[in-house]
Amino acid sequence: MPEIAPGAFHYSGFLDAGAQARLARDIAEVIAQAPLFVSRMPKSGLPMSVRMTNCGPLGWMSDRDGGYRYEPAHPETGAPWPPMPRMLLDIWAELTGYPKPPEACLINVYSDEAKMGLHQDRDEADFNAPILSLSLGADCRFRLGGPKRADRTIAFTLSGGDALVLSGPARRSFHGVDRILPSILTPLPAPLMGVGARVNVTMRRVT
Ligand code: MD3
Ligand code: FE
């Protein structure tokens, strides 16, 4: 029963412990080549509470003057984003069945105090392609609404090892992370130890 809302599929425990450890190693390698950075809100310039990096041809970022956007290179090093790990491309094909590979993979790192306000993902030109999310480490209280901010929301727990596919109507839904649950219970796999409490990767089509 993975469909929790029209077009939203929650695969609880999709990655077993071994797969979580392999994904953690791949992500640690990406971070080594493309250091975590802090995006800022457009106009106000206030820092977001998550740290992030990307892999694949395009990466998402935001700053005070340029706003939300995709860029082909890291904002601080100027280097192109590292390639998307094969494991992520394989999971995209398996879970979405989408005929083209993802163009962007955003890696969000949450501390115990970090959160993400209710928002829509609309910086992509292609809204017909699904988004695939994978989580590692601490559980979080996740909130999923509808296409309008005022629509009713459902809240549920996203745990390390879970996969979430947003397709069809869910692709346009508002969503956010209310809070991170105590990370001591479910620490990040060893390769990401010390990086934070929770890591989420989202794969998208952009163009
Ligand atoms: C529902 N990330 O990076 S992943 C984001 O846990 C983002 O880091 C959250 O929202 C995180 O933009 C949530 C699950 C997710 C991703 C994209 C969605 C849920 C979504 C797009 C539409 C609806
Ligand atoms: Fe989002």
Q: Which residue CA neighbors atom 12 of ligand 1 most closely?
A: 121
For residue 105 and ligand 1, the question of a CB distance below 6 A is answered with no
Buried b (16+ CB within 10 A) or exposed e, 42-70: eeeeeebebbbbbbbbbbbbbbeeeeeeb
For residue 180 and ligand 1, the question of a CB distance below 6 A is answered with no
Closest ligand 1 atom number to CA of residue 171: 22
How is the chain split among helix, strand and coil, in percent rounded to 5? 20, 35, 45
53 SS3 class: strand
- Residue ranges covered by each domain of the chain: 3-204
Integer CA distances (angstroms), 79 to 31, 58, 72, 86, in order: 13, 12, 8, 20
- Ligand 2 centroid distance, CA of 178 (Å): 13
Res 1 pLDDT > 90: no
pLDDT tens for 88-134 read: 999 999 999 999 999 999 999 999 999 999 999 999 999 999 999 99
pLDDT tens for 128-180 read: 999 999 999 999 999 999 999 999 999 999 999 999 999 999 999 999 999 99
Rounded mean pLDDT, 183-205: 97
Q: For the chain, what is the mean pLDDT?
A: 97
Mutation test of ligand 1: which of 133, 136, 204, 205 has the most ligand atoms closer than 8 Å to its C-beta? 133
- Ligand 1 centroid distance, CA of 96 (Å): 15
Task: Kindly state the percentage of the chain with pLDDT values over 70.
Answer: 100
- Ligand 2 centroid distance, CA of 174 (Å): 8
Rounded mean pLDDT, 23-49: 98
**What CATH number does domain 3-204 carry, 3.30.1050.10, 3.40.50.920, 3.40.50.720, 2.60.120.590?**
2.60.120.590
Which residue matches tokens 């694949």? 56
